[in-house]
Amino acid sequence: MTKTASTLHVSPRRASPADGPAQPSAEGYPNMAAPFDPDGCTDMPLTSLLHFWFQEVWCKGNLDAVDEVMTSETLISGAVSALAEPECEYSEVVATLRNLLGPIYVTFSHAMETRDWVSVRLQVDTSDPKDGHGFQITGQVMARVEDGKIAELHSNMDYFKMFEQLGQLPPEAMAICMTGERLR
């Protein structure tokens, strides 16, 4: 992807979000909605639970909602999972990341669910609180829901880009690493 002063060129290999209503799965459950509309997808309860979790915990900073949606036994995997267990609670990780960023807005571009699994592709709009520079990061989250709570959470967010945008990594750090060079 190249960026010029007047236009942004996107590689034709990059996927565009799908359009259209949710399609029912073989089990009779809706299996995909793109983009996810939280007000219009009442037939996707697990996606709505994940949407509530992102809105309350990440966007609003309501750390009490972590206990509403997760248990102390929730299995967490992803880039921040080493920080979330067993040394500290997940709410501490949320608070730490939220302190690095300006206001957070999360939208789901894609959502799929089955009887007890939900997967979303999401976009996070935020900013660097030091200078107000806005930026976006994307990610995917999969969760297994049991008894109305998240039993497993598997997250893959573009933290590399986030830390680049915050000035904690040099610009184009991923490209530098792909050459075999070390970041110094």
Residue type, 121: R
In a domain, 114, yes or no: yes
Whether 84 maps to a domain, the answer reads yes
Task: For 121-163, write each residue's pLDDT tens digit.
Answer: 999 999 999 999 999 999 999 999 999 999 999 999 999 999 9
Collapsing DSSP to helix, strand or coil, 154 comes out as strand
Region of poorest pLDDT, from 17-26, 92-101, 163-172: 17-26
- State the pLDDT at residue 44: 74
The per-residue pLDDT of the chain, averaged, comes to 79
Yes or no: say if 153 and 76 are a contact pair by the CB < 8 Å rule: yes
Q: What is the pTM of this model?
A: 0.74
Residue scoring higher pLDDT (79 or 19): 79
DSSP lists the bridge partners of residue 161 as none
Quick check: 175 pLDDT over 50?
yes
Q: Is residue 165 part of a domain?
A: no
**CB of 51 closer than 8 Å to CB of 29:** no
Residue at 9 is within a domain? no
For residue 6, pLDDT over 80 is answered with no
**Distance between CA atoms of 148 and 143, rounded to whole angstroms?**
12
* Within a domain: 181: no
Confidence of residue 171 (pLDDT cuts 50, 70, 90): confident
pLDDT higher at 139 or 35: 139
11 in any annotated domain: no
CATH number of the CATH domain containing 96: 3.10.450.50
pLDDT at 103: 94
Give yes or no for residue 70 having a pLDDT over 80: yes
Percent of the chain with pLDDT over 90: 42
Predicted confidence (pLDDT) per residue in 100-116, tens digit = 999 999 999 888 998 89
Look at residue 129 and tell me if it is in a domain. yes
**pLDDT confidence tier of residue 19, bands split at 50, 70 and 90:** very low
pLDDT at position 8 over 70: no
98 in any annotated domain: yes
Domain that holds residue 131: 31-158
| Tally of structural domains, the chain | 1
Evaluated on CA atoms 161, 166, 168, 169, the torsion sign reads positive
